[in-house]
Chains A and B, each alone.
Chain A
Amino acid sequence: MSAETLARPAARRRGGDLAERLGPLGIAAAVVIALITLAALCAPLITSHDPAVGSVIERYQSPGAEHLLGTDQSGRDLLARLLYGARTSLLGAAVVVLLAGGGATLLALVAAWFGRHVDAFLGRVLDLLFAFPNLLLAILAVAVFRTGLAQVTIALAIAYVPYSARVLRSVALRERRLAYVQAAELQGLSGAVVSLRHILPNIAPQILTGAAINFGYAMIDLAALSFLGLGVQPPTADWGLMVSQGKDSLLQGHPQQSMYAGVCIVVAVAAFSVIGERLGGRKAGGRA
């Protein structure tokens, strides 16, 4: 075997290559996400209002100098609630994606490395998780534990693992059979070292793509759980909760709160799905 076939595949160029793959729309989406993240981080600098405190006298105010986007049914500043709501919404989804991505990667590497019985066993476990719709799993977690962001976040992360694990397993398995991995194994390197140092970097693009796509789904699912009253609890600001709390105001003719928060979710989810789509070179709607 020549040295050439043993060499690890060249690491994919970053930077310029990434911008090229994202395209103009993808870069615009990345800018939108950067802006939302920045706004969430700098919330106290942008507004001096407390998102959880309001005065009933000031309820349903129109946008003005004091309240740039007006106020909600309790007289709380809507801009402040949107900005602080971005924190909960982004953080929750980020934790789901990190946990699910980490878990799926670990399962995929273990299944690919050991193969045979281990692979078959893990496959059965994933099949069992597949039997539960995502939302149902999260709702059951709330039933067993209690309502709260942490509970639904962990439950959703578990629910997301099978999808990513299945994709990553097949990629890792392909990598496992390549000459450079077998050569490393023959040199006596341990499974953990080969998996983490050699296989992991080469399946990283698929992990990232899956994470970008899952981020949008996680935001929607977490917001839906907050909307159902099972996730983030009032008075914490959260976009899903805002759509839910704004429903009654909307029926009385004050649609602002639901609309603003809903539009924020749509924009953020669309931005993440565009990036996932571009990174994966696939069409929208695919699930990694």
Chain B
Amino acid sequence: MLRFVIRRLGALAATLLISSFLIFAAMYAAPGTPESFLVQGRTVSPEVLASIRAQYGLDDPFLLRYWNWLSGVLTGDLGESLTTRQDVASLLLSRIPTTLWLTLYAAVIIVVFGVLAGAIAGLRGGAFDTAVLLGSSVGFAIPTFFAAVLLMSMFSVTLGWFPVFGAGAGFADRMAHLTLPAVALALPAAAVVARITRTAVVEERGAEHVSVALARGVPWRVVARRHIVRNAMLPVTTIVGVNIAALVAGAAVVEHAFTLDGIGAMLINSVQQKDFAVVQAIALVLVAVFGVVNLVIDVLYAVIDPRVQFGGESA
């Protein structure tokens, strides 16, 4: 177990190192020089330009600049924003709570509603099953940004139940502000999870061990809980994990739609302003979070399913 985790952590560290190089190299290769963004079209004397280049270390060789950046990143120094001159690390820290709450909220919705609806549909059948099947087919096809616009139109503009913009302050206010964004973010994923859960439960319901348990006289409630749902959770765990990991990037769209001040929205703004210092920092953070979430899923999967061996090559 421990060896498995350590090996996966090592692989993640290697991936992050190569990713950081790719991200830095991509920004380096981008057309246009950083100092032209710094002076923003003003005409400056060559001396000033030279001092700016010296200040940001722009004349250093590529590998030296990468090394300086990387060693900075490892000590928590993400550099300075090219447009606002602010410290990127503190900028990021101020934006992270919104994104964190948004994705956690969405993850809870995906797990609770997706799994619950799918399990009940699979166990009960009937009208609820049909409703879940239909709902998941449509929900899956609704892009998050359209869901955002729809929810905004219905609940904020027409009904006035929820605030339209902003992230709110304090727990209750924050939850009220984040409800619609979280629902929009969770909707397509919850639909997929509900569909997969339903299929898994239906398949498990027809399995021989379930018939045997029922024939032995084990009460339906116990069979449903211990024999059907527990076994059905294995494929569901994977799908839930994949979808939660995808929220990391998907949050950018929802934050943009609801003008929330999360790191996703910050990424979009920085891309538009060509603020590469911020872009590469956020990209690295997102890749790291994505990797950690995926790692946690793999470990969790192995914990849930005792048949998965930690020692062997992960299939």
- Chain A residues engaging chain B, CB cutoff 8 angstroms: 127-128, 131-136, 139-140, 142-145, 147, 216, 220, 223-224, 227-230, 240, 243-244, 246-247, 250-251, 253, 255, 258-259, 262, 265-267, 269-270, 273-274, 283-285
Docked-complex contact A251 and B157, CB < 8 angstroms: yes
A285 and B157 contacting across the interface, CB-CB below 8 Å:
no
Of the stretches B26-34, B63-71, B76-84, B101-109, the one at the interface is B26-34
Of A142, A266, A284, A285, the most chain B CB neighbours within 10 A belong to A285
Interface size on B, residues (CB 8 A): 56
| Chain B binding surface, main DSSP class | helix
Question: Which of chain B's residues 250-295 have a Cβ closer than 8 Å to chain A?
Answer: 250, 252-253, 256-257, 267-268, 270-272, 274, 276, 279, 283, 286-287, 290-291
How far apart are A26's CB and chain B's nearest CB, in angstroms?
A: 13
Say yes or no: B30 contacts A136, CB within 8 Å.
no
Docked CA distance A188–B29 (Å): 45
Complex contact B271–A142 (CB within 8 A): yes
Extra contacts besides A143-B30, A266-B142 (6): CB < 8 Å: A131-B16, A133-B290, A230-B268, A240-B143, A243-B146, A283-B196
* A228 engages B192 (CB within 8 Å): no
Q: Which residues of A contact B16 (CB under 8 A)?
A: 131
B268 and A270 form a contact (CB under 8 A): no
Q: Which residues of B contact A (CB under 8 A)?
A: 15-16, 18-19, 22-23, 26-27, 29-31, 136-138, 140-146, 149-150, 152-153, 157, 164, 191-193, 195-196, 199, 239, 245-246, 248-250, 252-253, 256-257, 267-268, 270-272, 274, 276, 279, 283, 286-287, 290-291
CB contacts (< 8 Å) of B283 on chain A: these are: 136, 140
Number of CB contacts from chain A to chain B under 8 A: 143
Q: Which of B136, B143, B245 contacts A223 (CB 8 A)?
A: B143
What residues of chain A lie closer than 8 Å to B137, measured between beta carbons? 270, 273-274, 284
**Whole-angstrom distance from the CB of B293 to the nearest CB of chain A?**
10
Report whether B249 and A228 are in contact in the complex, using a CB–CB cutoff of 8 Å: no
Known: A140-B279, A273-B141. A284 touches B249 (CB 8 A): no
